[in-house]
Chains A and B, each alone.
Chain A
Amino acid sequence: MELLNRAISGTMESSDIMVEIIPWDKDLEINLKSDVKEQFGKQITALVKNIIDENGVKNACINLNDKGALDFVIKARVKTALYRSTKGGKNE
């Protein structure tokens, strides 16, 4: 999967997560800001990294602002951001 443009998905409402993907030429970087970072930070980062790896993306900066999203929400948001980043898709 080749990323073409910056993209964003999700919201910062309670139980949601905002995912931003910025294509760049450096290695993958995941920045997590989360209300539950202490408890689930590692888990969230691993989950996101998994999805990114599955899609064969290697060079990107992923910014996550999590407000306590459950795993399937995180998955959906990351996949959407990836999709928008490859297709030039707009939000909604």
Chain B
Amino acid sequence: MFDNFSKKYIYTQNTRGRKTTSDFLKTLGLSFDGNVNVTINILDGKKIIATASAEKNLIKCIGVDENYRSKGLMNTLISEIISHQYDNNIYDLSIITKIENEKVIQSLGFETICETENIILMENNKKKFKKYLENISKNKVAKEQSSAIVMNLNPITKGHMYLIEKAAKESEQVYIFIVSEDKSKVPFETRVKLAKESTKFLENVKIIEGGDYIISSKTFPTYFSKNVDEWINNYCDLDLKLFGKYIAKELNIRKRYVGKEPYCELTSFYNKKMKEILPLYNIQVTEIERLEQNQKAISASLVRKLAEKGNISKIKELVPEATYKYYISKED
């Protein structure tokens, strides 16, 4: 308590500070996430002994040097971050951390939302997740068995349509959760609009906003930075457990469809985990071969690449009409 420790704030432009923080986390077997807006370090002299960061309302990358445990450093860090975020009008906070921190974080006013073997998601406003589930259940169509697809639709292509139509044919009801995180090229609003227009003719398909708890930076902090590390496994566990245990229940989801992923290592790993975890919650996983054109799977990233090059005419055969129109209107 009377040690001579100091606090240091590190913001995004401080590359060196971020590098030393990252090195410190590495010594604890943790990794730094480049998306964070602010980092708070506690120093003993010049040495980092504890750190925590925040990206908007998510606190993460928490680590305390083993030689400095039981000095209440976690209390100092979390208090500091709460006050800092408060000044930026961010009040409801979530924490992702190792499961062994659960007790101490609980004592700081957070409650467990979901835990996996290794990590835990906690929040200081317990009503938030409840409200989220209530909103999800408002989309419920009275059907015995439903299916779900989680998609980014950045933007929606004929490949997506193929998957959606197949699911629609095989299911009474299909819910499509669109990933809300706005880190994609095509803004969320547009992705939703194009999806709604493109699936209008399918009566048993409903588009739902994925929100904070489906492949968001909350359940999957590194998904959007695309670095595959040992925590990926944990994040997949967390995301899929939230889906299987809570979200799917609200809508009677018994099946989840997913497109086979030939290119992205992370997504194909996520799919593999999906097949392991969701059946534990009585949800069957159906992986569908991707629709190909000229021996290449149609992908949204290909469409985005063509768009960047201004090759709009080539896009036409890869996407539904609404998406094509969107690109044409962007041209003008």
- Measured CB to CB, the residues of A under 8 A from B are 6-8, 10-14, 18, 33, 35, 63, 65, 67, 90-92
- Of B82-90, B131-139, B179-187, B198-206, which stretch is located at the interface? B82-90
Q: Is the CB of A8 within 8 A of B1?
A: no
Q: Is the interface of A mostly helix, strand, loop or mixed?
A: loop
Distance A10 CA – B76 CA, assembled complex (angstroms): 11
Q: Is the CB of B83 within 8 A of A14?
A: no
Cβ contacts under 8 Å, A90 to chain B: 87
Cβ contacts under 8 Å, B326 to chain A: none
- Measured CB to CB, the residues of B under 8 A from A are 1, 72, 75-76, 78-80, 82-84, 86-87, 91, 107-109
Distance A14 CA – B1 CA, assembled complex (angstroms): 8
Q: Is the CB of A6 within 8 A of B91?
A: yes
Task: Identify which of A8, A13, A63 contacts B75 (C-beta below 8 A).
Answer: A13
Q: Is the interface of B mostly helix, strand, loop or mixed?
A: helix
Q: Is the CB of A8 within 8 A of B82?
A: yes
Distance A7 CA – B78 CA, assembled complex (angstroms): 16
Cβ contacts under 8 Å, B87 to chain A: 90-91
Interface centre among A6, A13, A14, A92 (most CB of B within 10 A): A13
Distance A11 CA – B74 CA, assembled complex (angstroms): 11
Find the A residue at minimum CB distance from B82.
A8
Nearest chain B CB to A44's CB is how many angstroms away?
A: 16
Nearest chain A CB to B314's CB is how many angstroms away?
A: 52
Cβ contacts under 8 Å, B91 to chain A: 6
Q: Is the CB of B83 within 8 A of A8?
A: yes
Cβ contacts under 8 Å, A13 to chain B: 72, 75-76, 79
Distance A92 CA – B87 CA, assembled complex (angstroms): 10
Question: Given the known A-B contacts A6-B91, A65-B108, A65-B109, are A12 and B79 also in contact in the complex, defined by CB atoms under 8 Å?
Answer: yes
Distance A67 CA – B79 CA, assembled complex (angstroms): 12
Find the B residue at minimum CB distance from A91.
B83
Cβ contacts under 8 Å, A6 to chain B: 86, 91
Q: Is the CB of A12 within 8 A of B108?
A: yes
